Each structure stands twice: as C-alpha cells, then as structure tokens.
Amino acid sequence: MKGTVVKIKWFLATVGVPIERKTYEDILSTEYNVSAASIYEKIDEFYFCYTDLNKVAKTKINFKNILILGDISIHNKSELFEKYRIHKNIEDQEIISHMYNKNGIDCVKDLVGEFSFVLIDIVKFKFYIVRDQIGVKTIFWLRKDYGYVIASDIFLLQPYFNFNDISESIS
C-alpha cells in the first residue's frame, strides 16, 4: 500500500471479526454528520477500516509486514531520530515501525506525545493496543468469543455489543 501519510481521525480494527464498511460509514455519518472517505483492508485475519480526512491521499499504514493504524502525534521526534538513527523526513507511523523493528514492542516506552494506535505484526501474528501515558487519545477494545475489536471511539463498537447492557450501578 503506497501513498502519503496522513492523520487518521477514526479507525476500527479487528482480529477474526469481519468489518462491514457500510456499517462503519453509516456510524460516522450518524454520530458526526461526516461523509469522509473510508478505506477498508483485510490482511489474513486482521480487518481494518479507517477514515482518511484528506479524501484524496491514501494513508500509509503498512511497513514491511507491520501495520500501524491510529491517531498519532509524537512530540519527541528529535530524540527518537538520534536514538534509533532514523532519517528525519518520515511521519509518525513510520517512526514507530522503525522503532518496533529495532526494539520490539518495548519501543513504545520511548514515545512521548499524544497517540492511540494498533500495531499489528503480521509475521508473528501478534497485535498490540497502545495509548499515550496521559490518555489524551482514546482507544477502546473488547474481546469477543471469536476475536477482538479495537476502535478509536466507543461509538464505533456499536455493532459489536449492546450499549443497553452497560450498567452504571454495581449490584
């Protein structure tokens, strides 16, 4: 998947749980009254749908068998460029992919900024849900009998569970 890297506003990723693109777009339209371009992909048992706010550019999320899908704003890029010997003209997702290739998932300890993302290692068939230390960017997930569902916003989980089952009181 080639293209320019752009910021992703909303995303939905699943492992073993199919996503219906129309349902995703309908939810965005209902919740935020937006009709942004959405991109749908499937690689093995990983499904993902995300919104490209530029509507013209494709978001680059695939870096040598690593997928990074999320809302990412790294604040300590200079430090990371030096520590990981990364060239400076790359976007946040690609920075993380280089870091992951060199240090594994422990690389996220070096990130400073605002971010929530899913990192999928296709070769190892592993995925990681990552959120910034302060929790500025939201990320929600739930486990189903047959897989996992991860979303940038809770409203994107609507097709996967009944919101009426949520109770504010403890019995």
Kindly list the structural domains of the chain, giving each domain's residue range(s) and its CATH number in brackets, ordered by start. 8-71+114-160 (3.60.20.10)
Alpha carbon distance 61, 98 (integer Å): 13
- Tens of pLDDT, residue by residue over 151-162, are 999 989 988 887
- Tens of pLDDT, residue by residue over 3-56, are 334 456 789 999 999 888 788 888 888 887 776 667 888 888 899 888 866 554
The model's pTM is 0.83
* Cα dihedral value 58, 61, 62, 67, nearest 10: -150
Query: What element of type H or E holds 160?
Result: none
Quick check: 69 and 1 in contact, CB under 8 A? no
Alpha carbon distance 38, 118 (integer Å): 17
- Tens of pLDDT, residue by residue over 71-101, are 899 999 999 999 999 989 898 999 999 999 9
